[in-house]
Each structure stands twice: as C-alpha cells, then as structure tokens.
Structure 1
Amino acid sequence: MELLTAHQIAAFLLVSKRSIQLKAKAEAWPYTEVKGRGGKVRKYALVELPAHVCVQVQQAMIQDNQSPAAQSGKGYLAVNEQSDRLNQQLATELKHQNLKQLAGLENIPPKASAKIYLLNAAKEFVSANSLPKVLGFDLFSERYNQGLLDIPAEHKSLIPSVSRITLLRWQKTVDQKGIAGLAVKIKRSGKSIIDSDPELSDFCIAMIYQYPHVKATQVKEGLIARFYSQGKAIPAETTIREWLTRWKRDNSALYTKMANPDAWKNKYMSAMGKMDENIKRINQLWEFDSTPSDVMLVDGRHSLIGIIDVFTRRSKVVIHPTSDSTGICLVIRKAILDWGIPEIARTDNGKDYTSIQITSVFDALDIKHETTRPFSGEEKPYIERFFKTFSHDLAELLTGYIGHNVSERQAIEARKTFAQRLLAKQGGDKSAVDINMTAQQLQEFVDNWIDNRYHHKPHSNIGNKTPFELFAASRDQIKVIKDERLLDVMLQPVPTNRGLRTVGKEGIKLSGGFYIAPELGAIVGSEVLCKWDPKNVGRIYVFNRMNNEFICVAVDHEIQSAGMTRQDVAHHAKRSQAAETSRQLKELKKTAKSVNVSDIANEVLSHYSEQNKALATLPKQSVEHTNVITQSAIKALDSKPVTTYSDEQLSEFERRRKQLSDETAAANINPVPLFNNPQDKAMYHKKQRLNNQLSDVDALWLNTWELQNRALSARLDDLLTEMNAAPAALTQLQKQ
C-alpha cells in the first residue's frame, strides 16, 4: 500500500500543502501517523483517497514517471496526439472543400436534405428524452419506421425507413466531412493503386485465374506476402474488393468461362447458325445420349437412354438400370423397327457408346458413327434439349421425383416432418419421397408422354410444326429391316477380342469349347466374326471378317442339347459358385473346430511363462530407505485411534458444529452466486454497492479490483449508468 504525505499530494495536484490539509480534515480522509523528522507525520493511503483525488494523483504520477518504458509511452502518445491534430486538420479542410462544392450546387439534392433533417430530428429526440445516443437512435428509428413521429411527408417518401446503424453512419460522415458530406458525392478520378502498378495488377489477375472465387481478404494476404518486403504500398481491402468487382464486371464473359464453364456455354457461347441447317431428310442424323432419371424407382434409380431424329425431332427412350451396351442396343432396336435405319449416328465418346458391341452394330448396319469431343454436349444439342424438356415437364409430378440437382434434392428432404426424421433415425424409411413406381411403369409413362404429348407439340426450331406433322408430310424413302430376327442377330453381344476368332482344324474355340460346322472346313486359318445366339449358348453366328457376310451357324454339341441361353448359363454359374463356396466354408469351419484356436492368446502366454520359469536372478545388496515422511507414516500406523474424549474436547466439538449450522443457514438465506470470471463478480458487487448491500469484505475486494482494472471498471460503470437511465427514459416516453 502506497502512502503519501500532504506535501506530496499537493505537489502532484499543483496546489498548496495547506489546501490539502484543510480538504483532508473537512472530508475526513483516513490517515496513518508514522515517525518522521520533527515528530509524527500524517500519511494517506492512495487507495483510500476519494476517487477523484486518487485518479488525479495517479495521472500526475504517470506523467512524472521517468523510466524508459514511460518515456517510450509518452513518445507514442505524443505521436498519436500529433496524428490526431493532423487528422482533425484534414477533416476541417475536407469540410470546407465540401462546403465549397455544396455552395456551387444550385439546389441541394432532396435526399440529402432529408438525411440532414432526420439526423437533426434524431439528435433532438435523444436530447429531449435524456437517452444515451445508441439507445436513443434505436428508439427513434423504431418509432420512425412505425410512423409514430411527426416527419414531413416529402422526407418520409425519400427515406421510407432508417436504422440505428444508418444514423450513426450519417453522424460519422457529418463529424468527418461536415453536413455537406451528406449532399456531395465525391467521384473518384484516376487509376487505383492496383491499376497504376503492373505488378500488383498482374498478381491480382493471376489470383483470379488460379482461384476464380478468391476473396479480397485472401488477395490482400497474398499481396503482403509477395510485395511487402519489396517496400510496395499494399492497397486496402476495400480497394481490392472494388477492383475485383470492377474487373469481373468488365470481363464478365471471361470470368464466367473460368469460374463456371457450363454457365459460360449457356450464357455467352456463340450460337450463330443452326446445327441442323444441313439436315434435309428423315433419318439423316440420329443423336444418342444417356442421363440418370430424376425419378427414384422401386428397383433403384435407372438411366434414360434416348435417340432423336434431328430432322423430325421424333424421339425414342429406353429405361435401363445403367447406360451400357445392352441398353443402347435395346433403344437402337426399338428405333430401327419403327423408323428404319439412320445414315449417321452421333454419340459422345463414352465407353458405353464406343464399345465393341455398339461399333460392330453400326458397322453391320452400314451406319456412320460420329463421336463428339469430350465434355462437348453442345455438339449434340437436340437430344440434350429433349432430356431437359422431359425432366422439366410432367416428370416433376411423378411419385418418386427426387429433383434435378442437389439443391432441389435438399429442398425435397426439407419437406420431411419431424416425425418422419425421427422414424428415419430409428431405422424407418429414410426417403422424403414416395417410391412406388417400377421401371416398367416409368417406361410406359415415357412412351405415352412421347407419343401423345411431345410428338404433337409445336417446336419453334422447326417452324412451329410438330414432329408428327413433319414425319407425316415427308416423302423421303427410308431403309428398313423387314425380318426382325436379322436385327436381333446383329444386335447380339459378341465374345471377347471384338468377336474375332481364327477358325482352327477343330473348329472355333470359344469359352472353353469348340464350335463346329461343315462350312468352316473351307476357311480353316481364316479370321471370322462371331455373335452369340440369343436363345442358345451352344450356337454362334459366324460372319465374314471383311464384308460381314453370313457364313454359317456353328454348334458346340456338348451344350447345345441343353437349350440354355446365356442368361441361363450365368444363372447356373452363380448357383454353382455359391454352392462351391458354401462347401469350402463348411470344410474350413470343420477344420477350425477340430483345431480349436479360440484360446490361442492364453496358450501363447502360457508357453512363454513355461520357458521363463527356470530363469532367476541373484539377490542384490539392499539397504532400507528411511526419511521423515516414512518415519511419520510408521508412527501413524502404530498409533491407536482415540476412543474417548474429554469434556473440554466435546464442548469444542459442539461449538464448531453450531457454528457450521449457523453458516449454512446464513448461506441459504443469502446465497453467494458462482462467477465465471472476475468481471462477472465485479459487476455483481457494483450492483450491490448501488443498493447499499455490499459487505466490508466484498467492498475491499471490489476496491482492489477497480484499482487493478481501471479501464474495464469504467466501462462497467458506464454500462450500469445506461441500464439505470434507460428505464427512466422509457417511462418519460410512455408519459408523452
């Protein structure tokens, strides 16, 4: 505790010693008398002085401090004061400049006049009701927005609503730029710091190219890391943000290309001319594509495999579990039987459309196969458009619809009630949609939609005619296959190695067997093309490798008589595999049971215990370890508990028990709360002090804490003042 004499206090406060002595006597300052020169001297504890005197003395002591740290702090404060004076001077000059600009205006903008009027009205509202500024602005804005204040209509129409943040921003503008700051909007001129420095500009452009969604904060961090050591001026974050916004606006097409190539295709990619301008007849060009269905089925999610005749816009679709060679052959068969054979088939370059089976089908039917470039859906736009038309039409109304994208799927999931989510967590149905449609039902729906809606709906790109009208009006000749069996043969899957086999002297070796026919004797050593018979795995169709002419039907007599299809063979193979696997597992289980390794861990430990049993060590020389603690512990162990107490001890026990009982009762009447931190405790005691409920012990703790945390204590005091002032202000408003 620091003690000061009246002389020292007077020196700090720049008054006479006599003034301090009279003031201390009048206000009864507590003091301590200590021996000094000439007798006893009164000294006053700094912490016990009145608050205003204590603060002034402490400030004077800080100013008189001559330590290096204090001198550094004073220098820092001096620089800050100089900076503040310079900022104030610049603000004054800016206000004068704005006033000159305002004077040059013929009429003040109406909205600026409305801002000035509302800001003055808000200040008068705060002053009239003796409110803190923040609370007053809050109440003013609330009443203004509710139309409870008498504000001229012309101002209300220009500024329909206002908030506390807006009023504070206007006030800050007035403080920095004067009232003219609300009316004069300064236009920037010249280049920004980024545009004026090619290195900074190139760096920012490189950041956008590498990271299209980069933020201004991240660009600033990169600039600091790259250029701060070079002494370059780093632009502010707001400057970078404005530059990024302006660059993206001026280079919107380029930025979209980098950030979202698909969106660039839809919005900016050149679409001059027409992709079908050279298509003049039916079946000249078919476009193929596949897409996952937006409808979940009972047997899982399936894919839509589609074909569109570009000239007439007629379409065919097959619902298949996945987009593979089998599904594509099914839709080809369906389209050829109804429309005939196309001249050109355009597909993407996916492995399902470039497989051996599909390319062999196109070769066999003399169909030219064109593939698009990777990720170039715009090269087959008509089938893409067909799928979009279907998915955004009645398909959205089907049970099991799951949305076109992730966001729509999440929206559908959000429709779940709390009960549905709870059931899902408990193992119930986790789907937010009803799933009761099969693949066959979806196929029937798609065929019905195409035949009765899509084919009879006018298309703007074909002169507002319908696909049915174009097909009916056409007189073009079409190539057809009259024998359906021939088409089935051509669409059958081929064996491995693209279906190519060399005819040996024993026949054609395939899948572990030999397929023979009399016609093969004449072409031993020649390479032929083989296709499976769809109804009997023991038969294959053999074609000439060079011109695809049919040669013969070769037979494997060992399996032909079984009359099984390839699906039957696959089914029997699976059953045979399952039976063999089950037999092997049973044998393994029997072997494991006979060997019995369930307790192998303990068996291993027992083995090592047996090995180490014969090992022993020679006895070591030892000495007993003793110290004060061990000796005390021995005494404690040897002592016997006291079983009887004297009357004096019993009386002391009773007194202590009564004291504890009284303390417990007092604690129940005035319980002391538990505090998370010293700030909460200080706030609690400050509230008690306002109500004169603070004990001496708590008052001493609070005084000590306030001396150690002056800034935080002042903030808490201001908060308490506002809390106490707010109810009184609200009462005055209610009276009005």
Structure 2
Amino acid sequence: MRAAAQDIAVACGVAEKTVLNHWSRRAEWPEGKRAGLGGRLTWAVEDLPASLVFRGQGVTVRDDVRLHLARAATQSSAAIATVAHKIQLSHDVDEAVQRRIQERGMSAAARLVGKAKQRLDARTEVLGAYRGFRATSGLPHHRALPLFAQEYQEGRIQVGDATRTQIAGVSTRTLQRWISEVQHEGLDRLGGRYRGRKGKAKIDIVAGMREVVVGLVVHTPHVRPAHIEQVLQARFAPDDVPSLRTIERWLARWKLEHKQVHTALANPDQWKNQYMVAMGDASTAATGLNALWELDSTPGDVMLLDGRHAVIGVVDVWSRRLKLLVSRTSKATAVAAVTRRALLDWGVPTQAKTDNGSDYRSHYYTRVLAAVGVDQEFCPPFQPWHKPHIERAFGSFSRDLVELLAGYLGHSVAERKGIEARRSFADRLMSRGETLEIKMTVEEFQAFCDRWVEDVYHHNRHEGIDTTPHDKALGWGGEVRRIADERALDLLLAEAPDGGGLRTVQKKGIKVDGGWYIAPELGLSVGQQVRVLYDETDIGAVYAYAATDEAFLCKAVCPERSGLGIDRAAIAAEGKALQRKRVQEEKARLKEVAKAAKVEDVAAEILAHRAATNPKIAPYPAPSTPHTTPALQAAGQAARVGMAAPESGLTEQQKQDLAQQQRVLAQRRQEPAAPVTDGDTAQGRFARWHRLNSLDKATLSENDAKWVATYPKTPEYKAQNAMAAALLRRQA
C-alpha cells in the first residue's frame, strides 16, 4: 500500500507542502517513488516513520495514513473497524517485540566485559547527553542531531573523562545509527560487534591446556592470570603459551559462562544466598507451638567495652519467637543459659535443632536436653541452611543493629554514610572470624537485645507466618508443657566438675576440686561411681546422681566450705551406721542364698568327684636318698622338744657348732641396722635390699626389717628394678 503527499497531509492534518518540502527531507523519512514520468510522488506506508515531532508536538504518521486510506477505500464501517483492529494489533505486536528487544538488550549489556563494556558505557553516556541537549534546546530531532554533533566535537558537551577519551568526536550519522541500533537491536548493540572466535584460543586448541587452566581455577578460585601464565610456561612449549592478555580474556569469559559454579567454588555462602534452590518450606516440621526450636551462635563476635562476646539465639520455628543472650564465649553453659530462659518463658519444646559445634555437642548440654525430655537434632557441619530461621533472625538483628546503634559503632564505621557500606558492616556479625565493635558494656548490650526482640522483632510482620510472632503465639490454643519447679531446672542446668562430673565414692566421701564432700547416704555407695553436679548457689555443696541410671542419691556437703557449722564426725557416724545396716542386710540375704545352694560340703563333693574320675594306678616309687643339713637337724630337734625321743645321735663337735649358730642369731637380732650413708650408691642400696630380703625375716634387726619393707615403695627402687629387668631381657 502506497500513499501520496496529499493522503499523508490529510491524514496528519498538515499542508501538502509540509509533507513535500519538510517531512520528506528528514533523515528518518523513506525515499519516495513516482508512478512514471511526471507522476505523483508516493511512499510505501510500511516505510513511513511511526511518529515524528512537528512544531513541538508528536504526530502519528504511519497509523493515521493507514486509517485514512482505509476510509478512502470504503465507507463501510465494518471495513474501517477491521482496519482499525489490524492497526491496533500491529501496534501491540510492535510494542511487544520492542519490549523484548529492550529487555534482551539490557540483559546482554549486563554481561559485557572488557572493552565492550567500556564502549557500551561511553556510547550510553553520549546518547544520554544528546537527550538532555534536545530537551533543553527544544529543537526537533533532525535539527538537534547535527547541532549536538558539532557542540560535542568542539568540547562544549560535558561528559566524563573516560567517555571523552573513548569517543573524541561523533558525527550526525553515527548518532543516528546508535539510536537506530538501540531501538531495533537492543542496548547491548552499543558494545559493538567485535567478537572473537569462540573456542579458537590457544587455551582451547593446545591439548591439555584447558584442563590445566580449569584445574587451577577449581583448586584456587581467585587465581591470578599471571600465575596461570607461569604454570603454562612451565608445562608447555614457549610457542604454545598464550599472552597474558589472552589468558585474562579467556578467564573472564570462562567465569561469566560458569558463573554459578565459580561462585560456589570461590564463595560458598554467596552461592547459597544467590543460587541455592529454595523451593521447599523449612517450617513444615513445626506443626505447633514449641514443636521445633533452632539454636545457634553468631559466626562473628561483638567487641564490647568489656571484651569480646558472642550472641547466642533460640527461635521457635512455628511462632518465630526469638531470644538472644550475650555471652563472653559460645560455650555449653551459655547455650544452656539461653535455653533456660526460653524454657521458663515459652515452655518445653518437642525437638531442638542445633549447630554441630562442640558447645552444642558437649555432654553437659546434651544431658540438659535429655533431662527435660527434648530430642536434639544436629545439623551437618558447615551447612547453616538446615536451620534457616535462626540464621534469618540473626540477619535481621545485624541489619537493625547498624541502623539503631550507629552512634555506638566504631569510628571507622560511624563516618560511613553509604547504605552499601552499612550493609557490609552489618555482614561482619554473620561472617566467621569477623568482629563487630560496639561501644557498650555487656549489660547495656544485653538490655538492647532484649528490647529489640520484645519491642521490634516480635511485632514485625513475618512473611513466612503472615503475621507477627507476638500474635502468632497468642493465637495458639493447644497445650504448652511447662516446668513448674524452677529450682529443679536450675539443678539440671548445674555445671559438672571436670571429667564429666564422674567421681568414685571413697571411704572419706567424694573429692571435688580438692575438697571432700560427705553425706550419710554416700556410705551405701562406697567404691561405686557417681555423677556430681555443682550447686550454683552454694560452693560447699554438690549433688550426687547414680552414674548408671542418673537417679538422685543425695546432697553432699564440704563442712570446710559450706560455712554452716556442719559436724563432720556426726555425719561420718551416721554414714557408718547406714553402711553397717546395709552390709548386714546384704550379708543376711547372701547367707540365705548360700544356704539354699547347700555349699557347705562342697569340698567333700570335689574330693569325691576327683576320686571317682582319677585313674587308680599306684605309681612306682622313685629311688631316693636322705638329705639333711645341720639347720634341718636343729629344727627337727626343736620340733621334738618335750616329746619322748631317742638320743639325737649328734657328736660333741656338732653340738658345739649348733650352739655357736644359735648365739650368732641371737646377737644379730640385737644389732642395729647397717646405716645408709650419703656415700652409698643407688646400685649398692638395691643390691643390699636383695641380700637382706633373701634372708629369713626373723634373723633381721627391727630397723633392717623396716627398711626392707619400705624401700620397694621408693622411686629409686622402682627405677633400679626397671633397669635390672631391661638388662635381663637384653641378655635373654
């Protein structure tokens, strides 16, 4: 379909000469054709501009001409309506296509890097300066365009230094091309069409080089291109190694194409926040109030006026209620303290999901949860997304912390005004190893945490529950398990001495931290192992529980530490009485068992059994010769004293020798022990002990006998004995 100047003038409401003398000379106006020699000048309607500015007002050209030609062709209202619908449909399609082009262009522009990004930024700034120039001057496009190009060429258009360096001058035609490219191809077209041959770089061509570079990136996500170049120079031929600039471009393109994977390698936390799929609902396990709690500690620390501290939190997943505790360190007792506050204020939960750290896995804390009937679930190490609710609560707290306590922050942060700087500072509390400096005491900061939780957090609407934590908890109509005896809870939360609190009850009681703790009931457990817990209100008292079933045994006191004037002797006497009674009862019971088993004649039963089973073969007597010594003869004579016996048969000389031996033995018993002087050696004393120990104890003096009995208990004897044993093993 073609239109003449008259048709265009009538459709747009202007004079025909305006179309012929002005519009047709504009840059965006298409070339016309004449129908033969001397014919009228006509234009294809599809090539006409969609709109243009005339006398400061926008004029729709193409659609108005189409509508006019339709009316001229037929007066039928149906035909006119059909054409109007087609025009509207075409207009809508054009808008949709244009919108998609712009969206695609902006998305592609965001991915540009290097020189393409520099060209895009420079050309975008120039076009922005042109739009401002045209709006200020009020000139139409065909007049403003060449004037702007001249002004820019002469340096009277203000742009950034980087843009001026990139684009020293620009022509009218270049500006018109840039505008057309943005409109029809998208914003990224301003970056240019300078495309390298993808997959044709040396890194991709040389065998094994790509694998080496990718391996370096995987091993060290932040590896520098210069380091990659050094590795390639060491492994490949010089002619095969690409330039440093080529490596930089290849690495930038690889990171862009594998953005998610590289982020996961370089910064797992950032990957989790930006890319990790979160289509499920972590709250489904919380079916009611106190069904599930989450506990954790902030990864970063808070540096207060009185030292470094950590913030420990617990959240009820169903209601999103929160409690925070400021502690000097995140240890088991501090975790138990925030748990105690929640137990008393909220009730007893069914399950607690905790971190996998040592403070949450300690025997003390696991014992506390087990004692109050709470199932504990550990999250896998270094996977905080398994407890997202407490993590999100910490995030809200850290962000509000910076906004509400700006006057208490360290000077390096208080001077920062940018939102991004404040957000970066707030992230310190959620980053392991970082420290957040706040000029407050621990009491002041704890009071701030409590007020923030009760007055701000509990009254903010949460998207996950579609209400506030305060209203959510109030709306619960079910049962809440509560601990009625607060003192009993305090006892369960009491800290145990070292070794998990395990102690063996001795005759003197239970020894804890150098003191002896006693109670009459301990007499029944002497020799048994018990578990001991401190009494947090009395340094002179502990509580003893059975180590096997955790049954309560007694409260034991240390009279020297209690300050209550307790009589240790009276307690000892009562303990002995209880012990004696228990032992007597146990002995009586055991005697009844023995009587029922009829074991009094068991020796006769054993002899009868062996006699019946042993073979009845008399052994042939072995040849023997009589053996005697003077000592044996003397001993035999002493044994027969007072008995009617025949003459000893000893000669006179033998009798004299025996008498002399008896006098020597008597004299030796009266002699003092051989002194052990400083000049004696360890080896000498060790040999002397063996010599004396081999003698009859009855022949030793009282001092020697005492020394022989005590010397084996000395370190010297133990050392000499160990060396002698080692020497024997080597000789063997």
Largest Rg, 1 or 2: 2
Q: Relative contact order: is structure 1 or structure 2 higher (C-alpha 8 Å, sep ≥ 6)?
A: 1
TM-score, length basis structure 1: 0.48
